[in-house]
Amino acid sequence: MTDSIKRLEKEYRKFVSEGIELNMERGWPCREQLDLSMPMLDLVTSDTDLCLENDYRGYAGTAGIAPLKKLFAEVLQVTEEQIYIGGTMSTTIMYDLINKAVLFGFDGFLPWKDFPGKVKFLCPSPGYEKHFNICKTFGIEMIQIPMNDSGPDMDLVENLVKNDDSIKGIWCVPLYSNPTGIIYSDETVCRLARMQSKAADFRIMWDNAYCVHHLTDEEYRIINIIDECAKCGHPNRVFEFTSTSKITFPGGGVGVCASSVDNIKWLTRTSLLQLKSGDKINQLRHAKFFPTVQSLRDHMKKHRDIIKPKFDLVDLVLHEQLDGWDVAEWINPKGGYFINLKLLNGMARDVWQKCKDAGLSITPAGSTFPYGEDREDAYLRLAPTYPSMEELEQAMQLLCIAIKISYTEKH
């Protein structure tokens, strides 16, 4: 064992001495993925007829252009009247909705700032740190909810929501969840839709970011929570989100929200001042680039061809280096952008620091929990998409060395 430790430390020192800079911290598309959408930029020129609907060059059309609404209505299985398109990112819409709820209240309800007590949100964890940061920004108390193989712990969710009117919502990434890759079961979706909430303005923030980001031939789907909520007498309970940030360009995409017709009318009406007109010309580029849902699916298969080998490489190196060590658990996800690595308790921050000291950036330990508090100090999120295959191979070898050294030091 002593010889093995010395060998690991020698390999680690070699990485440190080389002064490498490797980054697998964020779920960014790589250059090859971004190149796939470059032809989109040629689809709207000075010769393009823009005098469509109320004239795409003008102010009218706050909630998005008709052809793009039609596309996303089909993707999300709703009507076009249930679609709002605004800005370049869905995170902007999420932030805005929470801001509206705090300052003005959802349609017909008391503003959260006037609620007599602390407003709270349920946060399935590990989860998406931007959701948690939105809550933190507005002083909303976050309650960790454990995740299992079918989604959040619904027994706990139902019990909390039923008995506490200060709990105003829950964050969910239902398909290929960030970072776990979990796919919510039909039972979980139905229970979220039908559960009784003490707060009449309880809202589900349904971040369906990876609805077309499949990594296998089987394109997994989840049942339509908007329909389920309507069937259960809670038609306004859910806001669903997606975007083209990881489909075309994060710096030039479109953000989408789907909900009940009443919610979309309210969102549109209350957004007139801050976003009188979205970028309808950019929306038209997207509508021309994706004239049908099938064209979108074909485009996403090209993404899959680029990034699936990276996910497979991460899985391969983890198995080659860690099988038999009983130190880590993970799954090779069916879609999405991340791999969730669960180490033994007390190891995550140490491994993250060792990687950082050797020149490898990964998502900081604890980031995928509210307030950065991973009570087990066990979880690390890996983002394989941005590095090249060569960089990813190097990064994974370094990560595994850091894990082994941390394990031997602690055990």
User: What is the structure's pLDDT at 333?
Assistant: 97
What is the DSSP-derived secondary structure letter of residue 48?
S
User: What is the structure's pLDDT at 112?
Assistant: 97
Gap between the Cα atoms of 263 and 205, Å rounded: 13
Gap between the Cα atoms of 213 and 183, Å rounded: 13
> If you write DSSP's letter for every residue of 79-143 in order, what string do you get?
-GGGEEE-SS-HHHHHHHHHHHHHHT-STTS--GGGSSS--EEEEEES--HHHHHHHHHTT-EEE
Instruction: Summarize pLDDT for 228-253 with one digit per residue, the tens.
Output: 999 999 999 999 999 999 999 999 99
In order along the chain (411 residues), what is the average pLDDT of each group of 10 residues?
80 91 94 98 96 90 93 98 94 97 94 96 97 98 97 98 98 98 98 98 98 95 97 97 97 96 96 85 97 98 98 98 96 97 98 97 97 97 97 97 94 79
Gap between the Cα atoms of 265 and 363, Å rounded: 38
Gap between the Cα atoms of 205 and 211, Å rounded: 15
> If you write DSSP's letter for every residue of 317-335 in order, what string do you get?
HHHHHHTTT--EE----SB
Q: Which residues of 348-382 are buried (b: 16+ CB within 10 A; e: fewer)?
A: bbbbbebbeebbbbbbbbbbbbbeeebeebbbbbb
| Residue-range domains of the chain with CATH | 2-27+296-410 (3.90.1150.10), 47-290 (3.40.640.10)
What is the DSSP-derived secondary structure letter of residue 144?
E
Any alpha helices (H) in 164-273, and if so which ranges?
A: 186-194, 225-231, 261-270
Rounded to 10 degrees, the C-alpha dihedral 348/20/383/247 comes to: 160
Gap between the Cα atoms of 39 and 43, Å rounded: 7
CB-CB contact of 39 with 285 (8 Å): no
Amino acid letter, residue 382: L
User: What is the structure's pLDDT at 151?
Assistant: 97
User: What is the structure's pLDDT at 402?
Assistant: 97
Amino acid letter, residue 353: Q
For residue 362, CA distances in Å to 208, 318, 359, 379 come to 24, 15, 10, 12
Peptide bond into 126 cis (omega under 30): yes
Q: Which tokens go with 262?
A: 């009443």
For residue 5, CA distances in Å to 249, 401, 404 come to 45, 10, 9
User: What is the structure's pLDDT at 1?
Assistant: 56
How many Cα atoms sit within 13 Å of 291 on the Cβ side?
Answer: 2
User: What is the structure's pLDDT at 2?
Assistant: 67
Bridge partner list, 207: 241
Gap between the Cα atoms of 183 and 150, Å rounded: 6
Gap between the Cα atoms of 383 and 310, Å rounded: 10
User: What is the structure's pLDDT at 411?
Assistant: 79
Any alpha helices (H) in 247-372, and if so which ranges?
A: 261-270, 280-289, 293-322, 348-357
User: What is the structure's pLDDT at 3?
Assistant: 65
User: What is the structure's pLDDT at 62?
Assistant: 81
User: What is the structure's pLDDT at 258?
Assistant: 98
Amino acid letter, residue 41: L
